[in-house]
Structure 1
Amino acid sequence: MISQKQLLLRKVKSIVGVGAGGVLAFGGIGLWTGNEKFFKQFVSPVLDRIDPEFSHRAAVSMARFGFIRAACDGDSPNLQIKIANMQLSNPVGLAAGFDKSAECVRGMAKIGLGWVEIGSVTPRPQEGNPKPRIFRLPEDNAVINRYGFNNDGKEIVRKRLQEFKQRDPNYTVGVNLGANKDSPDRIKDYCEGVEAFSDTADYFVINISSPNTPNLRDLQKSESLPELLQRVINTRNAQERNVPIFLKVAPDLKDEDIRSISKTVLKKESRVDGLIVSNTTISRNGLASNLKDQIGGLSGKPLEKTSTELVGKFYKEIQGQIPIIGVGGVWSGEDAYNKICAGASAVQMYTALVYNGPGVVTRIKKELSDLLKENGFQSVQQAVGSSHRRTDA
């Protein structure tokens, strides 16, 4: 009879492959120790030389099978935050895109993230766009991807999430919903996602801001967004659980788009429970890499200033009536702090993990906690939107 350990080893061997075994073993040490300095100096340069999608799959597999050491320290009390009735031990979460099909929620929770967001999940499984479709830009601390909502589909993902929730019912997991590329009714796809995960998700994200599904961003327009949100909200209200709904917007918005979206999400019939600001960008301003012209969405450090400014603009429009989660270029506690002061109640990260490894989460939380204390804030909530209050004064 084959033991559980033997089965695990077989799975790992099948993932590693003959030619990359040494690379993954070396990378696994960095992931396992959680040592950020080790990861940046030794692992990241190696990963720069192999296929980025292979690296991504390897990281997901390592997290899935427990090859990541758990963060030792608990969270500082001043990092606790409540968002849309969700109590979080800290405001640093994992953005959608890393764990697309709920394969490694437990592993990512171990590294100290306040919560994990999976997806984007579509009703039907889909392969996504042709490969290659992800590119590392180390000169810019950035990544360009054009994955195209590749995932295992709602049925398989739902089962995985249910299994996780049975063991860890109190850990917060959001489900980022997308539409199938060939769907004749994309709004219906989002409604199907709400129905499928209404008994397991802690919150939903309506992702209409990915640049990698043709014409998806058209749903952000004033003539489309109200119908989308009304149908999604009506579907949510028909379920037994009243799960919060967040809308994820693109960074490539004009001021009139920001005003229009803000008005829509605050109306009674289309009111959401929060905004996620923002997705990847199609802008390439200031990049040094020779891969900068690859088609897809750009994430990472170049997005930090743009996304923080966008958080501030949305915060001014909605006047704190619904919470904002800030995403884009969170590389340090200062980056997280700036987004919070601009109006975000919490932040999400992804690309910083690619370049710095899981140890970056602990560092960011410590730096953020220290900055809150240094600036006289006893909690994250006290700091939310504080830069606007100082400006107004």
Structure 2
Amino acid sequence: MYRLVFTQVLRRFDAEAVHRLTVSALALLARLPLLKRLLHRAYAPHDPALRVSAFGVHFPGPLGLAAGFDKDAVCAEAIAALGFSHVEVGTVTAHGQPGNPRPRLFRRFRERALINRMGFNNAGAHAAARRLRRPRGVPVVVGVNIGKTKVIPESGAAADYVASAKELAPLADYLVVNVSSPNTPGLRDLQAVSLLRPLLTAVKEVCDSTPRRTPLLVKIAPDLADEDVDAVAELAMELGLDGIIATNTTIKHDGERGGLSGRPLKERSLEVLRRLRAKVGDRITLISVGGVEDVDDVWERILAGATLVQAYTGWIYGGPLWASHIHRRLLRRVRRHGLTSITEAIGRTA
């Protein structure tokens, strides 16, 4: 049914307009306690065999929603009620900004992909913090992804990230430093270890000072050269980061300017995951994202060493209950392989 609605109705409308409408509908659902709880009971993962622990945080399942959808932390509970184990909100910047000019979100139906050049459009860290302080009506792990405000020069990047971290780290289950979006000029330059080390060091000081020490992760691009992937992995171990998220969108495509997500990213995202696992083993939590479309993709990422898996484009093409269906199929796979927990599968083919 969803596929029919998508192909016959939704695809005829501007992609960003549909996105805004969907976020508004989910924000409304988040304000309806009874319906939200009923949906959570029906569709969220509850079986103990799917539970995952990472960097001191307990997740009801391995599959979460990647950053980019809920930019302002307005509907995380509703998303969890539809079957995701965790929601990464953002990317949030220290100062609110409108993002890049429209149009800036494009579908590529044949490839089951999206291209975006949104440019971190969000209301800012203070507004996100205000929403994150609200009590959660259903259990949901909320990560917060932070990025650089566009108008801030490279020399002020660390201070800009620190300003966001001070607002958001105390309220997040984990914090992610995003230096890998292709849509903010100069942002990816911060992935160079010489620039990344002082930035991460400064943000980590903030995370370490929160009452329960907020876990800190870094998100990298698929377009990094292999030796640069290795360098980031070594830096993450040196600084004692809690995890690496691999990968963001790619600029290696022939479509509209912007970052490409979805099926075309699958192969490289898996390559980067395997390279990271070979480098860090199980010393750092790895979260795999990019080209995740079905239960086979999630299972493959877990076997390759991912503790958690995230998706975004797969949900857009798969429908509202896509994550719930994936978790149910994962549970069947765990039982078919004679495992007591999905964590027993992590890194089996690494």
CA RMSD of aligned residues (A): 1.6
- The Cα shift of 1:353 comes to 1.7
Question: For residue 274 of structure 1, what is the amino acid of its counterpart?
Answer: G
Q: Distance in 2 between matches of 1:159 and 1:179?
A: 20
Indicate conservation of the 8 Å contact 2:222/2:269, yes or no.
yes
Alignment of 1:179-190 (within 5 A): 179-184=148-153, 185-190=156-161
Greater than 4 Å deviation, 4+ residue runs: none
Match of 2:344 in 1: 382
Question: Which runs of 5 or more residues in structure 2 are unaligned?
Answer: none
3-state SS of paired residue (1:310): helix
Taking a change above 3 Å as real, the CA distance of residues 387 and 347 of structure 1, as seen in their structure-2 partners, is same
| 1:170, distance to aligned residue in structure 2 (A) | 4.8
CA deviations on 1:253-294 (whole Å, 9 max, x unpaired) are 211111111111101xx221011111011122xxxxxxx420
Greater Cα offset, 338-347 or 168-177: 168-177
Match of 2:99 among 111, 124, 128: 128
From 237, 253, 278, the equivalent of 2:247 is: 278
The aligned amino acid for 1:60 is: V
Q: Does 1:323 align with 2:291?
A: no
Counterpart in the other structure of 2:24:
61
Match 2:268 to one of 306, 311, 323: 306
Q: 1:215 aligns with which of 175, 178, 186?
A: 186
Partner of residue 82 from structure 1, selected from 53, 63, 67: 53
C-alpha contact (below 8 Å) 1:345/1:380 kept by paired residues: no
Match of 1:39 in 2: 2
Question: Pick from 264, 285, 307: which aligns with 1:345?
Answer: 307
CA positional deviation for 1:240: 3.0
* AA aligned opposite 1:114: S
Q: Secondary structure at the match of 2:219?
A: strand
Output the TM-score relative to the length of structure 2: 0.93
Separation in structure 1 between the aligned mates of residue 139 and residue 209 of structure 2, nearest angstrom: 24
1:336, distance to aligned residue in structure 2 (A)? 0.3
State the structure with more CA Rg: 1
Amino acid at match of 1:278: T
What's the CA shift for 1:305? 2.1
CA deviation after TM superposition for structure 1 residue 376, in Å: 3.4
Aligned residues: 340
Residue range with higher mean Cα deviation, 67-76 or 173-182 = 67-76
Q: Does 1:333 align with 2:304?
A: no
- 2: distance between equivalents of 1:221 and 1:303? 22
| 8 Å CA contact retained: 1:309, 1:342 | no
Distance change in 2, residues 1:311/1:192 (3 Å): same
